[in-house]
Chain A
Amino acid sequence: MRAFSAIAAAIVRGFVRDRASLFFAIVFPLMFLVFFGGVLSDRGQPAAELVQVGDLALLESLSPEAREAFDAAFDVRRVEDLDTALEEVRSGDADVALRQDGDTLVAHYTQTDQVQAAVTQATLRALVDGTNVALLAQEAGSPVPFALDVERVEDESLTVIQFVTPGLLGWAIATSAAIGAAATLQGWRQTKLMRRLQLAPVRTRTIVSARVVVTLGIALVQTAIFLGVGMAFFGLSLTGAWWMAVPLVLVGTLCFMALGLLAGALTTTAEAAVNAANFMVLPMAFLSGSFFSLDGAPRWLQAVSDLMPLKHLNEGMLDVMVRGEGPAAALPVLGILAGFALVVTLVAAKLFRWDSV
């Protein structure tokens, strides 16, 4: 027990005193959290930039609701002549130039951003149609036959932060678990510390379990910091069986430690091992929806992502942390991750050599 705690303490000290590993384990992922959660969530679909040429009588006659929708959809600026407005559209400073020609509203747009152009056209058309219908109905003295009422399905609190936190947390623990294991294995082999420990009357499993326990502890600290920052500053609110994220994080950590061991077993220097671990985890993070949702990705890509342990970890954490699912939702994910960890550890153990000779 003394040997275990001495080795664990040595690893913890080594980690805490290494600014680079602290940065990549905690600060770097938090920067992403701030970026996605704090910056992107305020924006949604950006408003189109609209240049208004002279007076637009139609705009003045809009109903209050329609005016509100118009203001939400467009950032409006006013210029006096058409040429200036067209130049702005052409150069990309504005998305659309709008002028009124008698009873016709004329929109000049570019096709550079096709989605933005389509949204702009549809919005303006709806505006004109809506005004026409309102006027016709008024003339006829009868109410409009159909009405549309919109209501959001999700809880008000379901903002971007809810969806990015589990994914980014998954990426953060995957990276530090894999890199920690790879760097320890190769670093200790390179400095011959591993051989030195072999010559001490300490069991291999004492050394391995010290490393594993420390990495699990680091993952839990990462989780606490992530959820704490998310809740304190970005309005993250956890749902349902969120506490099931703890076993998910722990098993996920084992899974990525196994990948790190594999990276360490396949390489001959600590630097190469860390690079190999990064090379495995970073593309996986992209393919596992850590940074953005894969709902819009092609089918084959989604099929590939199903092979990634990180995808399952992310989905499992989303289910229990923000989608309000019960604890049972995490069980199949735990099974998949544990199986992956076992298989990869066995492969790494098979490939491992005590030293390079």
Chain B
Amino acid sequence: MTAIRVRDLTKVYGEVRAVDGVNLDVADGEFVGVLGPNGAGKTTLLEMVEGLRRPDSGTVEVLGQQVWPRNAAVLPRIGVQLQASAFFERLTAREQIRTFAALYDVSPARADDWLERVGLAEKASARVEDLSGGQAQRLSIACALVHDPELVFLDEPTASLDPQARRNLWDLLSGINDSGRTVVLTTHYMDEAEVLCDRVAVMDSGRVLQVGSPAELVRHLDAPARIIVAPGQLDEAGARGIAGTEAVEVGPDGTVLTTRHPADVVARLGELGALDGVRVQTGTLEDVFLALTGRSYRA
């Protein structure tokens, strides 16, 4: 069964085609990432799928139902974490999640369980304004999950967090679809999408450029691998002599061989006894992303 079915979805603001003919399917239990630079249209797409915005054209089906106009039958089955920390002011973490629980007719005890699950039990009595960025995001995610929805939307949950807090949050996020929950996450961090998502849709200028698993996308990119041989193991001429090598660069950290046949090259290096300290860098989702969206600087 499909959790989300999007067809030819378009939203135009004045001259800007924020979302431009997007098609996307998300299967039940899948963890899907929507990846793109700022202003790519990720949030607008998500908001139309959630039923917050009316599409100019195209259709959205969530859990087999229409989402626009506001469909009260779908709402209890989805959980949403919005980009800003949408909290009631001056409530403590516990009061906050209990308030959201009450909106879904969930008991305070279950709300407190969620506080525990996201590691905020000790911060239960702290006001939301006094939580750190990471803690606030955890609370926000807990508030989105408190009614145990089948489908969860997370809009840039790790934006503006420091690297430690981000990795900390990944542990939490990677666990939330263990129970078969479907998760849709937007992010502009490649590493995040690579770690968390089953499939990634790369978006730019309102369009979905490519969809696939991170590995598929990288393979599809056909980017050369970089093999770095430790200094003193191999001279430049020797390196050039290896079949399949496209380029050779000698630097202070060693000799860098660029190749599309890394397995063959590594095997040859073994024969030459130059494997000590060798490192292989293959393409990453970041390469895919840059290849698809261009390298020009965006404000």
Contacts and interface: CB of A to CB of B under 8 A. Distances in A.
Contact of A2 (B80, B90, B102): B102
A148 B24 CA distance: 97
Interface string B74-115: 011010101111111111000100111011110000000000
A7 B75 contact: no
B1 interface: no
Given A18-B90, A193-B87, A199-B51, 18 more contacts: A2-B105, A6-B98, A6-B102, A7-B103, A10-B99, A11-B88, A13-B90, A13-B91, A13-B95, A14-B89, A14-B90, A18-B89, A191-B86, A192-B83, A192-B86, A200-B104, A201-B72, A201-B75
B213 to A, nearest CB: 29
Contacts of A199: 50-52, 75, 78, 80
A6 B99 contact: yes
A43 interface: no
Contacts of A198: 52, 70
Specify the main secondary structure of chain B where it touches its partner.
Answer: loop
A193 to B, nearest CB: 4
B297 interface: no
- Chain A interface: which size bin? 20 to 34
Nearest to A187: B89
Interface of A: 2-3, 5-7, 9-11, 13-14, 17-18, 187, 190-193, 195-202, 357
A205 to B, nearest CB: 13
Contacts of B76: 201
A110 to B, nearest CB: 57
B86 A195 contact: yes
A227 B89 CA distance: 30
B99 A7 contact: yes
B104 A201 contact: yes
A14 B86 contact: no
Given A6-B102, A6-B103, A195-B82, A200 B90 contact: no
Given A14-B89, A17-B90, A191 B103 contact: no
Contacts of B98: 6
Contacts of A196: 80, 82, 86
B82 A200 contact: no
B13 A357 contact: yes
Interface of B: 13, 50-52, 70, 72, 75-76, 78, 80, 82-91, 95, 98-100, 102-105, 127
B103 A3 contact: yes
Contacts of B86: 191-193, 195-196
A195 B102 CA distance: 17
A10 B70 contact: no
B239 to A, nearest CB: 55
A191 B85 contact: yes
Specify the main secondary structure of chain A where it touches its partner.
Answer: helix
A3 B127 CA distance: 21
Contacts of B80: 196, 199
Nearest to A354: B52
A283 B242 CA distance: 86
A191 B84 contact: yes
A202 B76 CA distance: 10
Nearest to B78: A199
Interface centre among A17, A18, A199 (most CB of B within 10 A): A199
Contacts of A9: 99
A200 B52 CA distance: 11
Contacts of A6: 98-99, 102-103
A103 B284 CA distance: 113
A6 B104 CA distance: 11
18 contacts: A5-B102, A7-B103, A10-B88, A13-B88, A13-B91, A13-B95, A14-B89, A17-B127, A190-B84, A192-B82, A192-B83, A192-B84, A195-B52, A195-B82, A196-B80, A196-B86, A198-B70, A200-B75
A10 B84 contact: no
A5 B105 CA distance: 12
B87 A191 contact: yes
Nearest to B96: A10
What are the 10 closest A-B residue pairs judged by CB atoms, nearest first?
A: A6-B102, A196-B86, A200-B103, A17-B90, A192-B86, A10-B88, A201-B75, A193-B86, A192-B84, A14-B89
B27 to A, nearest CB: 22
Contacts of A5: 102
A19 to B, nearest CB: 10
A13 B128 CA distance: 13
B91 A14 contact: yes
B101 to A, nearest CB: 8
A18 to B, nearest CB: 6
Nearest to B52: A195
Contacts of B85: 191
Nearest to A193: B86
Contacts of A192: 82-84, 86
Contacts of B50: 199
A5 to B, nearest CB: 8
Contacts of A10: 88, 91, 95, 99
Contacts of A11: 88
A16 B243 CA distance: 76
Nearest to A357: B13
Contacts of B82: 192, 195-196
A41 B238 CA distance: 104
